[in-house]
Structure 1
Amino acid sequence: MAVIGDSWSASSSPRRRTCVVIGGRGFVGRWLVLRLLELGEWVVRVADSDDSLRLDPSAEPDAALSRAISSGMASYHHLDVRDRSSVLRVIKGSQAVFYTDVTDLFGQDFYNSYMIMVQGVKNVINACRECKVKRLIYNGSADVVFNGSRDIIGGSESLPYPWKYADMLSDLRAQAEALVLFANDIDGLLTCALRPSNIFGPGDTLLVPAMVKLAQSGWMKFIIGGGENMCDFTYIENVAHAHIRAEEALCSRIVSVAGKAFFITNNEPVKFWDFISLLLEGLGYQRPFIKLPVRMVYYFFLLIEGIFESLGITKNSYMLSACHYVQIASRNRTFDCSAAQKQLEYSPIISLEGGIARTIASFSHYSRDSSYEGQGEFPEQSKANWMLGGGKVADILLWRDEKETFAYFLVLVVLFYWFFISGRSFISSTACLLLMMTVALFGYGYLTSSLFNSNIKTAPFPCFMQKSIVEESLGRIISLWNRGVHIMRSLAQGEDWNIFFETAVAMYFLKLIVSYYLTFAVGAALVCSFTCFFIYEQYESEIDTLERVLISGMKTLKGCLVSFLPLSMTPHSRKQDL
């Protein structure tokens, strides 16, 4: 067991008591340690799963801890809560134990999570009883009364535990909390549990980083539901303050506190999406504005889950986290913390507005820089205009002049009717059209030259499309031709199953279109040409984001399909063989 800065002699002072903060290097633990050190009444033993203590001098909690270790007011202990003997060594001689999350459980399987959260709590309780510790305060979560299927409005501590939880961590937290409360008043140990709701603040490793990551990927432009659902959030310093109040209440042996759980919030319910918007805008990101129906999002994740199950892939922590986020983001979740105000004499010391401002300032390194857009290839024109060549074609399809665009559209509709709907064969339709064009052009040329003594002027090619775009398009056509030859060669030699699947699917859909849906496909292409580019120009960033998400999902699905092929048939195995 690693011990840094241990100074047991400091605890001999009659005016100072010794406490243990389990999970003292976690988000809640760091601020709780800072609060305890600021009181000057405690010798704090910081216990965590990290092998060694790594301090960031720029962070306020770490700077205070460094000074406290130097003065003997604090010490650091490596602790594995699954090891009962090490728990005993850390807790022995202390008067109070604060239990917070000891490690980041994201990505852990059920067994490890259970051993850390539930078995770990059992070991701590037994150690407290054996070492005659007087008080145990457990930091839980408001999620223990939330099952994801119903709203909670002004929920009180009388709410029961759900029969079934939507995510594993909430289930395990509920089990751990129940163990702590059940252990109250056994062998002189007094216990209580706190249930903070949606903790945020400087040093946050979950809420704010997750939001920033989603904003950078484009997901945070979407509002799940109507955006009117209310939520309670709790600033981190208020959580630490609540722990101090709980310990003082237990120290006073208040009967109404021991063995009870208390909701802890900022007592300022706010719309969930308004809170998210304030944080994102403060960091320079766009606030969410596209509303998605909850059922659509739910069925989307249900579809992904079904695909995973059909492929024999179990649900991972990322899928569970996404489902839990959807539930929190679309449901009302407000809690009544009047019991904590009355019994613990708790009241927030930092307002919600002040907490948001401090959080934004602490995450300035996450702010959106000027280069984030990642789409800087088209600074002077829209991407749709660039793809269409920036000439006459772009002006027509992007409806720069409504009358002109409508005229071209009307002509193309007539041609579509002439070739595909009139009932004539394609050859006869072409012949009739060429004959009509020849007569019209001959007559126009003869009349203008004889009557007005003028020649027909030809429009310069750049009027329709920029020369650079034409050259680039020709280069792409040549590149596509070479790639096609390479694909045909790979298919003939059977080298790459990825190419085989892509080609087979493409050829199948091409066969369907040519055989049965050619007329429909041409008509749809005509309509889409005059609508899709215009829409894309208006919602360019949103569509690009959706495209990235779909491509990422398709790549993941393709990877799963390829993984089921025999090892000798995969491209990777062939390269290894070579």
Structure 2
Amino acid sequence: MGDASMTTDLGRVLVTGGSGFVGANLVTTLLDRGHEVRSFDRAPSPLPAHPRLQTVEGDITDPEVVAHAVAGIDTVIHTAAIIDLMGGASVTEEYRRRSFAVNVEGTKNLVHAAQKAGTQRFVYTASNSVVMGGQRIAGGDETLPYTERFSDLYTETKVVAEKFVLAANGDGGMLTCSIRPSGIWGRGDQTMFRKVFESVLAGHVKVLVGSKNVKLDNSYVHNLIHGFILAAQHLAPGGTAPGQAYFINDGEPINMFEFSRPVVEACGQPWPRFRVPGRLVWFAMRVWQVMHFRFGLPKPLLEPLAVERLYLDNYFSIAKAERDLGYRPLFTTEQALQQCLPYYVELFDRMKAASGEPLAHAAAPSPPEGAAPPSTMIRSAET
């Protein structure tokens, strides 16, 4: 368990990406806990005005804007990123430059400006993909080396930026750590289940891929936020968190199809019964991707990276976060699903209506918490 004597108050908190799914939920939680919060994003905040909330709109690649955003801030929680799942031959120089400008140079701007401003704590949002690299991982921990096999720009930028943030620990009196979420889900999610629903509506979900014993883990947004806050509190001199990375997830590895099933069925959609071998699908999608790049065929139905998550175990232990931070998930997957089903059913119905299909049922609308344009969200389904 984290040593309570080695924790600190967060003071004034800056949340980058504060208009996105994770950021807006984090801002709301911090306000509920009585903190002074500044939200920084290039998109307007979706949250109502609040006496303890300031908002700064601007670009993280602009050092002047960033210096303004961190002025007078004690703790930075950095969630902003560009989600580029491009990989291999699909990466144009322009995409590469943009991803590195925001995810790497933007992070460096933020670290340097925060050090100059006298900020004491900096929590970075990485991803479990920084160690994945296509191998089977069951209960992996933070001793795993960084992957050198990059299937997408997002992972590549997250590895570079996390290394930079952790190496900066202690410089200029600022303590740093990194959080590695798994697939992030919950009210306001515009990535994980949107991709599932797109596949369902396009009629692509006809079979189940891989064995039902293959598991991955996910990070319910309020479990992740709990992890962020604990990590920041443990960024104290002599505390456990400085210079460390932590996997933060729901602690319940589950098969992706079994996880999606209650949501898809709640949307009134049939669930496939037939299974096909994952390696076969991976090989087919890999060949299809090559044909796409070489001969201009349409894009494959699934990215090879996404298929890997369906047929390879891919889950991580939260033991280090339990020991160092006292982290335990606040919600079980079942409890979180009960809270989120109305939101997801409404999202599905909106997508179905937009696609011109008749609705299977009427769902009671539920206002999304911190739903926002996915402009500077952290990645979800493929995290």
Match of 1:89 in 2: 68
Q: Distance in 2 between matches of 1:39 and 1:103?
A: 29
Aligned with 1:128 (options 108, 114, 117) = 114
Q: Distance in 2 between matches of 1:140 and 1:257?
A: 15
RMSD, matched Cα: 2.5
Structure 1, residues 494-522: CA drift from partner, whole Å, max 9, x if none?
A: xxxxxxxxxxxxxxxxxxxxxxxxxxxxx
Distance change (3 Å), C-alpha of 1:146 and 1:288? farther
Query: Does residue 212 of the first structure (1) align with residue 193 of the second (2)?
Result: no
Q: Once the 2 structures are TM-superposed, how far is the Cα of residue 294 of structure 1 from its aligned partner?
A: 2.0
Match of 2:227 in 1: 242
Distance change (3 Å), C-alpha of 1:363 and 1:375? closer
Q: Distance in 2 between matches of 1:302 and 1:335?
A: 26
Q: Once the 2 structures are TM-superposed, how far is the Cα of residue 114 of structure 1 from its aligned partner?
A: 1.0
Distance change (3 Å), C-alpha of 1:320 and 1:284? closer
Query: Does residue 47 of the first structure (1) align with residue 40 of the second (2)?
Result: yes
Q: Distance in 2 between matches of 1:258 and 1:30?
A: 25
Q: Distance in 2 between matches of 1:38 and 1:320?
A: 42
Q: Once the 2 structures are TM-superposed, how far is the Cα of residue 295 of structure 1 from its aligned partner?
A: 2.9
Q: Distance in 1 between matches of 2:228 and 2:102?
A: 21
| Structural mapping, 1:388-407, within 5 Å | none
Structure 1 residue matching 2:150: 3-state secondary structure:
coil
Match of 2:311 in 1: 330
Match of 1:385 in 2: none
Q: Distance in 2 between matches of 1:102 and 1:374?
A: 32
| Structural mapping, 1:13-28, within 5 Å | 17-28=11-22
Which of the pair is proportionally richer in helix?
Answer: 1
Q: Distance in 1 between matches of 2:154 and 2:356?
A: 36
Query: Does residue 174 of the first structure (1) align with residue 174 of the second (2)?
Result: no
Match of 2:261 in 1: 277
Query: Does residue 145 of the first structure (1) align with residue 131 of the second (2)?
Result: yes
Match of 1:488 in 2: none
Contact 2:263 2:345 in 1 (8 A): no
Q: Distance in 2 between matches of 1:151 and 1:16?
A: 37
| Structural mapping, 1:84-483, within 5 Å | 84-105=63-84, 109-148=95-134, 150-250=135-235, 252-311=236-295, 322-367=303-348
Amino acid at match of 1:208: F
Distance change (3 Å), C-alpha of 1:354 and 1:254? farther
Q: Distance in 1 between matches of 2:75 and 2:249?
A: 23
Match of 1:456 in 2: none
Q: Distance in 2 between matches of 1:31 and 1:279?
A: 21
Structure 1, residues 448-507: CA drift from partner, whole Å, max 9, x if none?
A: xxxxxxxxxxxxxxxxxxxxxxxxxxxxxxxxxxxxxxxxxxxxxxxxxxxxxxxxxxxx
Q: Distance in 2 between matches of 1:344 and 1:112?
A: 34
Q: Once the 2 structures are TM-superposed, how far is the Cα of residue 16 of structure 1 from its aligned partner?
A: 8.7
Q: Distance in 2 between matches of 1:204 and 1:38?
A: 20
Distance change (3 Å), C-alpha of 1:349 and 1:151? same
Aligned with 1:78 (options 37, 51, 57) = 57
Distance change (3 Å), C-alpha of 1:192 and 1:33? same
Q: Once the 2 structures are TM-superposed, how far is the Cα of residue 45 of structure 1 from its aligned partner?
A: 0.6
Match of 1:37 in 2: 31
Q: Once the 2 structures are TM-superposed, how far is the Cα of residue 104 of structure 1 from its aligned partner?
A: 4.8
Amino acid at match of 1:229: V
Q: Once the 2 structures are TM-superposed, how far is the Cα of residue 173 of structure 1 from its aligned partner?
A: 1.0
Contact 1:184 1:190 in 2 (8 A): yes
Q: Distance in 1 between matches of 2:339 and 2:77?
A: 25
> Share of identical aligned residues, percent?
26
Contact 1:19 1:44 in 2 (8 A): yes
Q: Distance in 1 between matches of 2:325 and 2:116?
A: 27
Contact 1:284 1:368 in 2 (8 A): no
Taking structure 1 as the reference length, the TM-score comes to: 0.56
Contact 2:322 2:328 in 1 (8 A): yes
Distance change (3 Å), C-alpha of 1:21 and 1:319? farther
Distance change (3 Å), C-alpha of 1:288 and 1:359? farther
Q: Distance in 1 between matches of 2:348 and 2:14?
A: 36
Taking structure 2 as the reference length, the TM-score comes to: 0.83
Structure 1, residues 281-302: CA drift from partner, whole Å, max 9, x if none?
A: 1222222322222233223222
Contact 2:169 2:176 in 1 (8 A): yes
Match of 2:89 in 1: none
Distance change (3 Å), C-alpha of 1:230 and 1:92? same
Amino acid at match of 1:299: F
Structure 1, residues 94-147: CA drift from partner, whole Å, max 9, x if none?
A: 101010024554678111011110111111111111111100001111111111
Q: Once the 2 structures are TM-superposed, how far is the Cα of residue 304 of structure 1 from its aligned partner?
A: 2.0
Q: Distance in 2 between matches of 1:18 and 1:368?
A: 39
Distance change (3 Å), C-alpha of 1:224 and 1:16? closer
Contact 2:75 2:119 in 1 (8 A): yes
> What is the number of residues matched between the two proteins?
341
Q: Once the 2 structures are TM-superposed, how far is the Cα of residue 319 of structure 1 from its aligned partner?
A: 5.7
Listed as ranges, the gaps of 5+ residues in structure 2 are: 1-8, 87-93, 359-383
The higher radius of gyration belongs to 1
Distance change (3 Å), C-alpha of 1:115 and 1:301? same
Amino acid at match of 1:358: Q
Amino acid at match of 2:30: L
